[in-house]
Amino acid sequence: MKTVRVVVVGGFLSYRALFQWLRPSLFVPTMLVTPVFQVLFFVYVGRFAGVADDRFYVVGNAVLGSAVAGLYGPMLAMSEERAAGALGAVLASPAGRIPIFVGRMLPYAINGLLVSCFTLGFAAALLGPGLPADRLPALLAPLVVAAFACAGLGLALGSLALISRDVPFLSNLVNAVMLLVCGANVAVPDLPWPLRAAGSVLPLTHGVQAAQRLADGASVGSVGWLLCTELGIGAGYVTLAVLLLARVERMARRAGTLDLR
Amino acid sequence: MSASRVTFAAAAVMLKMLFRARVVVVATVLQPVVFTAIVSLLLRVGSRGDPTLGEAMGATVMGMWSSVLFFAGGMLTRERRQRTLEMIVAAPAPLLLIMLGTSLATALMGLYSLVASVAVVTFGFGVPLEIAEPGAFAVASLAAIAGTGLFGVLLAAFFVMFRQAGIFQNMLEYPVWIASGVMVPLALLPAPVQVIGWLLPPTWGQEALRDAASGAGGSWSASLACAGLGVGYFVLGGVLLMLAEQRARMRATLPLS
């Protein structure tokens, strides 16, 4: 019960604090409007190139919609906590490290999921991509798994942000690379092999493929391995984040710089 | 201090800052590279035909627009936050000329995008690097930089005059990319979007670059339209800025807060 409280309450407070530091008025244009315009941009590019129908881009970019919240949220939350001098107090508390930092990740996974759902619903209504209504509940599974995996990578980047100043740049780099390699805009088989290889170890790639197959009428069971792979990739990044955090904390305690500034 | 010297000095200071900011690389190199690669890959597998230098020209204007939107558009807001706006406004050099230099410097960063996106289509997709009309291409590059940069003055004035408009800054990247036809011809877009596109300097900038690269003709007139629209927006930005400055002086709120 105590662990759940640390995860839920700690995560909520951290999320609330981030939007106190950042301007809440940035939320709507950044999180809700930009992903919809991104869908429109790629739908028109797809129509121009004559590659795939609108549904391909709507579904793919809806999954991709969780990237901004998932990648930048945990990283910014942890960096801002350190900048405000609150991280030292958090690390001095007796609460377990894993619940603390998983709590930092979950609000952004939920945020990313909501952005994905909004993008899918709004873009589908706007463009009418012929997405049958009975497919929508099935699409929730890849959206949930992809949002979790993306937030896992965001948490790993957040851990790196405690020891490196270049992480915001790295987050931008990863975000741009994901746009290219995750299969939302260029189908994975059409990518050159180095890009396919990069996509296979990044979040969203398997989630996008699962969502596109489900939208085409496949059953949830037939994309189970894609969902499991996506989940595994997310879990891998969470594990990496926890290991990195443990190392950073040890280094900070040894050097007597618990606030990690 | 002469007008050209003020403009040049402001541009030089801004360029020094931009050269040291890593986020510039994201907007002017990384994004154009990724978008050029995506569109080129789609064209290669699609029914439209192989990629050309035109895709690189579209990506160049994309990078130019991102740079102007984020670094010129937010210029006065940034100065206000750093509490240096009072000093800039109080200086004898006209604020409009300082903004002109700063905004042109941000548009100049589009040259990064040009090199990066041309490298992608040339080395990644085997497109021959042949500019059909080199003279027109040089003029088109200058017109695109000038037109988009001058448009940045209006943006900066607008964002500082109407503070709430600043929240729209983050979401203006894709809409202008769509409406200016950087990757998709305007003819394929809905009619109202085409009309908006005709009013945007980036539309004419990318058209001038594409036409000069392919030798399709029409580059000179597109360059003229791009620069002409830019001058119009610069005048509008100057009027807005004058009103904002007057209002701030009357209310004794020089930080324009």
- Which three-class secondary structure string do you get for B1-21? CCHHHHHHHHHHHHHHHHHHC
Q: Sort B214 into a burial class: Cβ within 10 Å, 0-12 / 13-18 / 19+.
A: middle
> Count of CB atoms within 10 A of residue A230's CB?
28
Calculate helix-pair angle for B31-45, B110-119, nearest 10 degrees: 40
In this structure, of A3-17, A197-211, A223-237, B226-240, the range with the lowest mean pLDDT score is A3-17
Quote the percentage of chain B above a pLDDT of 90.
63
Segment B238-242 mean pLDDT: 90
Segment B118-138 mean pLDDT: 94
For chain A, the C-alpha Rg in angstroms (whole number) is 19
Closest CA to A59 of A112, A150, A135: A135
Highest mean pLDDT among A30-44, A141-155, B43-57: A141-155
- Is B21 in CB contact (< 8 Å) with chain A? no
How far from the centroid of its chain's Cα atoms is residue A70's Cα? Answer: 3
Chain A residues closer than 8 Å to B167 by CB: 23, 25-26, 28-29
Following DSSP, what letter does each residue of B141-209 receive, concatenated? HHHHHHHHHHHHHHHHHHHHHSGGGGGGGGGSHHHHHHHTTSSS-GGGS-HHHHHHHHT-HHHHHHHHH
Mutate to test the interface with B, among A42, A54, A170 (most CBs of B within 10 A): A42
CA distance B17 to chain A (A): 16
C-alpha–C-alpha distance, residues A169 and B20, integer Å:
13
User: Given this model, what pLDDT does residue A92 score?
Assistant: 77
Segment A101-123 mean pLDDT: 89
pLDDT band at A10 (very low <50, low <70, confident <90, very high): confident
- CA separation, residue A96 to residues A52, A175, B1 (Å): 48, 30, 63
In this structure, of A143-152, A162-171, A187-196, the range with the lowest mean pLDDT score is A162-171
Higher per-residue pLDDT: B83 or A231: A231
Helix then strand then coil, in percent of chain A rounded to 5, is 80, 0, 20
Chain A residues closer than 8 Å to B174 by CB: 34, 37-38, 40-41
Nearest to B188 among A44, A168, A191 (CB): A44
Segment A100-109 mean pLDDT: 86
pLDDT band at A257 (very low <50, low <70, confident <90, very high): low
Residue of chain A nearest B48, judged by CA positions: A49
Chain B residues closer than 8 Å to A191 by CB: 41
B142 CB contacts (<8 Å, ≥6 apart)? B223
- Whether the predicted pLDDT of A17 surpasses 90: no
pTM of the model: 0.90
User: Given this model, what pLDDT does residue A258 score?
Assistant: 54
Segment B139-189, tens digit of pLDDT: 999 999 999 999 999 988 887 777 666 677 778 999 999 999 999 999 999
Higher per-residue pLDDT: B250 or B56: B56
Nearest to B46 among A50, A176, A191 (CB): A50
How far from the centroid of its chain's Cα atoms is residue B6's Cα? Answer: 21
Residue of chain B nearest A34, judged by CA positions: B171
Segment B200-208 mean pLDDT: 96
C-alpha–C-alpha distance, residues B90 and A125, integer Å:
52
Q: Do A172 and B39 touch (CB under 8 A)?
A: no
DSSP conformation class of B26: I
Q: Do B42 and A47 touch (CB under 8 A)?
A: no
pLDDT band at B31 (very low <50, low <70, confident <90, very high): very high
Segment A9-28 mean pLDDT: 72
In this structure, of A182-186, B178-182, B245-249, the range with the lowest mean pLDDT score is B245-249
Segment A186-191 mean pLDDT: 94
Q: In this structure, is the dihedral angle defined by the CA atoms of residues A179, A184, A190 and A195, taken in order, positive or negative?
A: positive
Nearest to A29 among B45, B170, B178 (CB): B170
Specify the amino acid at residue A127. L
DSSP conformation class of B22: H
Residue of chain A nearest B24, judged by CA positions: A169
Question: Which residues of A have a CB under 8 Å from any CB of B?
Answer: 23, 25-26, 28-30, 33-34, 37-38, 40-42, 44-51, 166, 168-169, 172-173, 176-177, 179-180, 185-187, 190-191
User: Given this model, what pLDDT does residue B26 score?
Assistant: 87
In this structure, of A111-125, B128-142, B199-213, the range with the lowest mean pLDDT score is A111-125
ipTM of the complex: 0.91
C-alpha–C-alpha distance, residues B128 and A240, integer Å:
44
- Whether the predicted pLDDT of A89 surpasses 80: no
Segment A213-235 mean pLDDT: 93
Quote the percentage of chain A above a pLDDT of 70.
93
Q: Do B26 and A190 touch (CB under 8 A)?
A: no
- CA separation, residue B20 to residues A173, B14, B15, B65, B208 (Å): 17, 10, 9, 19, 30
Nearest to B42 among A34, A49, A177 (CB): A49
Higher per-residue pLDDT: A18 or B185: B185
Chain B residues closer than 8 Å to A45 by CB: 38-39, 42, 183-184
In this structure, of A162-171, B31-40, B235-244, the range with the lowest mean pLDDT score is A162-171
How many CB pairs (< 8 A) connect A and B?
94
Structure tokens at B117: 């996106």
Quote the percentage of chain A above a pLDDT of 90.
47
pLDDT band at A9 (very low <50, low <70, confident <90, very high): confident
C-alpha–C-alpha distance, residues B17 and A98, integer Å:
40
Segment B41-89, tens digit of pLDDT: 999 998 888 899 999 999 999 999 999 998 887 777 778 778 888 888 8
Segment A64-79, tens digit of pLDDT: 999 988 998 888 888 8
Q: Give residues 39 to 68 of B whose Cβ lies within 8 Å of A.
A: 39, 41-48
